[in-house]
Amino acid sequence: MQIPRRISVGKKTYDITRPQTVQDPAAYGRTYFDENRIEIARFDNNGNAFEQGEIEDTFWHELTHAILYDMGHDLCANERFVTAFANRLSDAVNSAKL
């Protein structure tokens, strides 16, 4: 799948940027709710390029954060839940047959 450059969630539109790395060395991506921006890193902090599957999983993960934030849901900050939900969403989308 191709990662979009912009996506709308509720009344917000998020710009999706692809920096070399993100600020948190343990993270592949980050959602900045106040800036309406989602970052998805191209490389880890050792300079290794992320594989396409990792990039797609990160996109679904950050999108899940944005959706839960829009809903005002406490689970927005629960990394364990967001990861589990995003993994299932990614698997479902990838299994879709046209």
pLDDT of residue 45: 81
Cα 40 to Cα 29: distance, rounded to the nearest angstrom: 4
List pLDDT tens digits, range 57-72.
999 999 999 999 999 9
**Is residue 80 one of the residues assigned to a domain?**
yes
User: Does residue 1 lie in a domain region?
Assistant: no
Q: Could you tell me the CATH number of the domain that includes residue 64?
A: 1.10.10
Task: Tell me, yes or no, if the pTM score tops 0.95.
Answer: no
Say if 69 falls within a structural domain.
yes
Is residue 87 in a domain? yes
- 65 belongs to a structural domain: yes
What range defines the domain where residue 17 resides? 6-95
**Residue linked to tokens 């290794």:** 48
Q: Does residue 67 form part of some domain?
A: yes
Residue 98 has a pLDDT of 84
Domain count, the chain: 1
